[in-house]
């Protein structure tokens, strides 16, 4: 019994026996479920799953749209982040500062503010009427600032001795980037990039305020129609977890592989 | 090689690393640079390698001046091989690629030929079985041999060694020094920065004692080690040979 709940003091702190892992995780999860059940019991809430169940296609459609919006945004964010990270090394200083201001400004303001500002001011001025396009753009710009920092850290992690060596060999600056910096920086960026994708999925929920019919907005609509708040939002939480948990897991595995390699 | 370093100076901000360094060699096979740490040996080597630009003075290698513009310097570097203290191999490539990629991308050798040449060199340094291993899977001595193979691959007119054994244990150091001595005997011109006085005395024909950014004393290695003129060099050699 003791072996299931406590780690063997002599073993490596990261290594836990599978049985102990399962038993302890189940125990922790049960405790949390009990706590939640107790809270709901004290509410004397009347569950009405059947009303919400009728709207299952709405949940699925919203969930799929969230995946689409997040995926496209990640792709665009990688392009923006890549350009931004590269511009930090540009010899043309105004470009360097342009992206520096972008990164600092974006990281320093709430996504909600950015969504409202871009949707009601910039998109309107540019006659961008498709709210999905605007939504993807806002998310991409927001996430691009973080991706930029991830890439920058990856690029800066390449040791100066390698750069000196590349120079001694006669590589041009482009060749040094192409063959030496880029492959290693990308590999080192992957764990953080996966984590950023999970954040992006959660952040996309804020697009509901500009009436993009993603997962969160659809759940809100079901709530309005059925007046079954918890039954509407419980699937919402589960839906996000189905997406984010595997990604966080992937991120951690990439991290371990990287640590093992280097 | 014929080498002339004329009134060479180099400063990093406030720090004056080289302060009017002069050295003239007519016909040397191997020059060793010795001297206290921070005296300017490695800086001199980097300037000769074209990795940094001098703040003043000239370098003439085989009667050609080392250029000043970045583009010409890049061409110049292609004619030199450099081996660093900490190997400086690319960790994401295996041993073979570390040698073959520069041949292919910098010297325009066809991929198959570059790989064949790389394999030949690895075989020469008894690393044929390790050609597909990455630097992290090889020992320090093996990595340094890969680095030497890389510096040799394009048949440079001069190879520069910057403290090639400082990161190695005595056993591996001996292996590497044997390899370098072999190269010298096979007719390669070398400049070696080293703290291995035994090697410097035995393998090199010329030696220069660099201290405080100047050549304090220079000559054939026999003269320099057997009958040092200055008090400073005598003390330096005493300390280096003490343990």
Enter the DSSP assignment of A205.
G
pLDDT of residue A193: 92
Asked whether residue B2 is domain-assigned, the answer is: no
The number of domains in chain B is 2
Question: For B39-58, how does the pLDDT look when each residue is reduced to its tens digit (9 = 90+)?
Answer: 999 999 999 999 999 999 99
Residues 87-126 of B with CB under 8 A from A: 88-92, 101-102, 105-107
For residue B215, the cross-strand partners are B210
Out of B121, B140, B156, a domain closes at B156
Domain that holds residue A235: 58-261
Residues 41-60 of B with CB under 8 A from A: 49, 51
Q: Does B128 touch chain A (CB under 8 A)?
A: no
Looking at CA atoms only, how far is residue A194 from chain B in angstroms?
A: 21
**What's the 3-state SS for B92-160?**
CCCHHHHHHHHHHHHHCCCHHHHHHHHHHHHHHCCCHHHCCCCHHHCCHHHHHHHHHHHHHCCCCCEEE
Residue with tokens 């040397």: B28
Question: For B105-133, how does the pLDDT look when each residue is reduced to its tens digit (9 = 90+)?
Answer: 999 999 999 999 999 999 999 999 999 99
Smallest Cα–Cα separation from B30: which of B175, B177, B228, B226?
A: B177
Token pair for A196? 């950023």
The number of domains in chain A is 1
The answer on B211 and B112 residing in a single domain is no
Q: Does A257 touch chain B (CB under 8 A)?
A: no
Strands B15-25 and B3-12: antiparallel
Asked whether residue B85 is domain-assigned, the answer is: no
The answer on B211 and B105 residing in a single domain is no
pLDDT of residue A9: 76
pLDDT of residue A261: 66
Smallest Cα–Cα separation from B82: which of B60, B68, B102, B58?
A: B102
- A162/B88 Cβ within 8 A: yes
Asked whether residue B13 is domain-assigned, the answer is: no
- Best of A154, A158, A160, A170 to substitute, by most chain B Cβ atoms within 10 angstroms, is A170
Question: For B69-78, how does the pLDDT look when each residue is reduced to its tens digit (9 = 90+)?
Answer: 989 999 999 9
For the four alpha carbons of B151, B154, B155 and B160, in that order, the dihedral sign comes to negative
Average pLDDT estimate for B215-227: 92
The answer to whether the CB of B196 falls within 8 A of the CB of B165 is yes
Domain that holds residue B242: 28-52+67-79+157-243
Asked whether residue B16 is domain-assigned, the answer is: no
- B91/A262 Cβ within 8 A: yes
Asked whether residue A189 is domain-assigned, the answer is: yes
The answer on B243 and B161 residing in a single domain is yes
The answer on B177 and B203 residing in a single domain is yes
Distance CA(B213)–CA(B230), nearest Å, equals 16
Out of B99, B124, B156, a domain closes at B156
Smallest Cα–Cα separation from B221: which of B236, B208, B238, B237?
A: B208
Q: Which member of B75, B92, B102 has the closest CB to residue A169?
A: B102
Asked whether residue A252 is domain-assigned, the answer is: yes
Please report residues of B whose CB lies closer than 8 A to that of A163. Answer: none
Asked whether residue B19 is domain-assigned, the answer is: no
- B80/A180 Cβ within 8 A: no
Greatest CA span in chain B, whole angstroms? 56
The answer on B197 and B181 residing in a single domain is yes
Q: Which member of A161, A170, A175 has the closest CB to residue B78?
A: A170
The answer on B95 and B204 residing in a single domain is no
Q: Strand, coil or helix: what is B165?
A: coil
Asked whether residue B7 is domain-assigned, the answer is: no
Residues of chain A with pLDDT under 50: none
Instruction: Report the CATH number at residue A223.
Output: 1.10.3720.10
For the four alpha carbons of A156, A162, A167 and A170, in that order, the dihedral sign comes to negative
Question: For B135-167, how does the pLDDT look when each residue is reduced to its tens digit (9 = 90+)?
Answer: 999 999 999 999 999 999 999 989 999 999 988
Distance CA(A171)–CA(A163), nearest Å, equals 10
């Amino acid at each position: 019994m003791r072996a299931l709940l406590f780690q063997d003091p002599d073993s490596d702190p990261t290594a836990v026996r599978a049985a102990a892992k399962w038993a302890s995780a189940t125990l922790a999860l049960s405790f949390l479920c009990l706590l939640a059940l107790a809270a709901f019991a004290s509410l004397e809430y009347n569950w009405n799953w059947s009303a919400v169940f009728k709207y299952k296609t709405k949940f699925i459609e919203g969930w799929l749209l969230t995946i689409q919006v997040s995926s496209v945004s990640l792709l665009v964010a990688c392009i923006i982040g890549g350009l931004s990270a590269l511009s930090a090394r540009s010899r043309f200083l105004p470009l360097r500062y342009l992206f520096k201001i972008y990164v600092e400004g974006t990281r320093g303001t709430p996504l909600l503010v950015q969504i409202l500002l871009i949707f009601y001011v910039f998109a309107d001025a540019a006659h961008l009427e498709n709210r999905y396009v605007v939504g993807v753009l806002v998310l991409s710009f927001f996430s691009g600032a973080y991706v930029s920092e991830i890439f920058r850290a990856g690029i800066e992690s390449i040791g100066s001795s390698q750069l000196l060596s590349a120079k001694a060999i006669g590589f041009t600056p482009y060749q040094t980037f192409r063959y030496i910096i880029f492959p290693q920086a990308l590999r080192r960026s992957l764990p953080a990039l996966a984590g950023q994708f999970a954040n992006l999925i959660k952040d996309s929920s804020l697009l509901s305020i500009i009436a993009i019919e993603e997962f969160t907005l659809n759940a809100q609509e079901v709530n309005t129609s059925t007046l079954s708040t918890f039954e509407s939002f419980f699937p919402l939480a589960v839906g996000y977890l189905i997406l984010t948990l595997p990604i966080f897991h992937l991120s951690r595995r990439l991290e371990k592989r990287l640590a093992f390699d280097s | 090689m014929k080498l002339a370093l004329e009134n060479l100076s180099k400063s990093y901000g406030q720090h004056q690393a080289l302060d009017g360094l002069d050295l003239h060699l007519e016909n040397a096979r191997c020059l060793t640079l010795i001297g206290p740490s921070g005296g300017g040996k490695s800086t001199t080597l980097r300037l000769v390698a074209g990795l940094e630009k001098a703040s003043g003075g000239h370098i003439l290698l085989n009667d050609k001046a080392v250029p000043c513009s970045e583009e010409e310097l890049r061409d110049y570097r292609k004619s030199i091989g450099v081996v660093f203290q900490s190997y400086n191999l690319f960790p994401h490539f295996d041993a073979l690629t570390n040698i073959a990629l520069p041949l292919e991308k910098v010297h325009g050798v066809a991929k198959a030929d570059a790989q064949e040449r790389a394999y030949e060199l690895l075989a020469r340094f008894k690393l044929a079985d390790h050609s597909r291993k990455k630097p992290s899977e090889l020992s320090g001595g093996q990595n340094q041999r890969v680095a030497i193979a890389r510096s040799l691959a394009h048949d440079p007119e001069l190879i520069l060694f910057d403290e090639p054994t400082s990161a190695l244990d005595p056993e591996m150091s001996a292996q590497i020094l044997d390899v370098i001595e072999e190269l010298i005997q096979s007719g390669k011109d070398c400049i070696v920065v080293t703290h291995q006085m035994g090697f410097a005395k035995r393998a090199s024909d010329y030696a220069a004692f660099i201290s405080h950014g100047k050549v304090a004393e220079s000559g054939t290695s026999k003269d320099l080690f057997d009958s040092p003129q200055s008090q400073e060099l005598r003390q330096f050699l005493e300390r280096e040979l003490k343990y």
